[in-house]
């Protein structure tokens, strides 16, 4: 039975709320921020959550020479031979369309054609199955996991890999070398667990009214991550320096954007 697009968004948010804080990744979170591998475990757990919420999903499997750009891998891309995610039928003005729920790739539900299109192989093959299929090989052989025991094992494996990467010199995602600094972002920063660090930014006209925001870029649902205070130094007759103290409220490292908005020049 087709659902509304808003219902599909609600289901996306339902599963995305299970996203792992990368450095700690406590069970039973889903390691969406480790896109390298483990999609079949993520998909099966997402289907379990969606079914429990009263909707009957299916799965779409894609096979090919897949390459996806992502800021959640230090190389800024991942390669796959195959990938899988849950699908739901959505009622639209042009009829019922298949939408994919895949937080490892998107920030909301997308049409299946969009999901296929970002994976970099126009000759890729897609196959639809019911949600009970845990794993499907390219040749079509399938495995099931009705007790979700294999699902739990897969998720544990890739939660651990996410934690190991986050503890490495690369740190937690996202990776700044993969990002284009947006307008209004002065700098990218990283702050360690429970740390307080001060940054400064100089040569701002003293006549301007500038508003500063510290925005976490490392996702970690469940509560506030950062707080900050702003102090100002009149560096000369016409210029000033802002001193911005950031406090990490969590036990995980957090990457962030130092954003500014010029309210008055």
Q: List pLDDT tens digits, range 162-190.
A: 999 999 999 999 999 999 999 999 999 99
| pLDDT per position as a tens digit, 56-111 | 999 999 999 999 999 999 999 999 999 999 999 999 999 999 999 999 999 999 99
Confidence of residue 127 (pLDDT cuts 50, 70, 90): very high
Say which CATH topology domain 5-167 has: C8orf32 fold (3.10.620)
Task: Give span(s): CATH 3.10.620.30, the chain.
Answer: 5-167
Query: Is residue 237 packed enough to be buried (19+ CB in 10 Å), middle (13-18) or exposed (0-12)?
Result: exposed
Cβ partners under 8 Å of residue 142, min gap 6: 129, 133, 134, 135, 136
- Structure confidence at residue 1 (pLDDT): 87
Q: What is the pLDDT averaged over residues 233-254?
A: 98
């Amino acid at each position: 039975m087709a659902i509304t697009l808003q219902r599909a968004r609600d289901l996306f948010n339902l599963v995305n709320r299970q996203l792992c804080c990368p450095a700690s990744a406590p069970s039973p979170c889903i390691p969406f921020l480790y896109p390298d591998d483990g999609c079949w475990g993520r998909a099966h757990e997402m289907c379990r959550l969606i079914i429990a919420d009263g909707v009957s999903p299916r799965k779409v499997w894609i096979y090919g020479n897949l390459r996806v750009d992502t800021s959640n891998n230090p190389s800024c891309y991942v390669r796959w031979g195959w990938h899988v995610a849950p699908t739901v039928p959505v009622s639209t003005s042009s009829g019922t369309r298949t939408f994919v729920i895949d937080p490892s790739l998107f920030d909301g539900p997308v049409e299946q054609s969009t999901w296929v299109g970002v994976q970099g192989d126009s000759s890729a093959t897609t196959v639809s199955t019911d949600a009970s299929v845990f794993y499907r090989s390219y040749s079509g052989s399938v495995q099931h996991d009705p007790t979700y025991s294999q699902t739990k094992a897969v998720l544990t494996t890739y939660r651990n890999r996410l934690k190991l990467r986050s503890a490495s010199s690369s740190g937690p995602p996202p990776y700044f070398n993969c990002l284009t600094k947006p307008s209004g972002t002065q700098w990218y920063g990283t702050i360690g667990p429970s740390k307080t660090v001060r940054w400064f930014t100089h040569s701002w006209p003293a006549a301007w009214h500038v508003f500063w925001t510290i925005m976490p870029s490392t996702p970690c649902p469940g509560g506030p991550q950062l707080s900050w205070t702003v102090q100002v130094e009149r560096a000369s007759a016409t210029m000033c320096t802002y001193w911005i103290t950031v406090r990490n409220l969590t036990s995980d490292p957090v990457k962030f954007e130092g954003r500014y908005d010029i309210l008055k020049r």
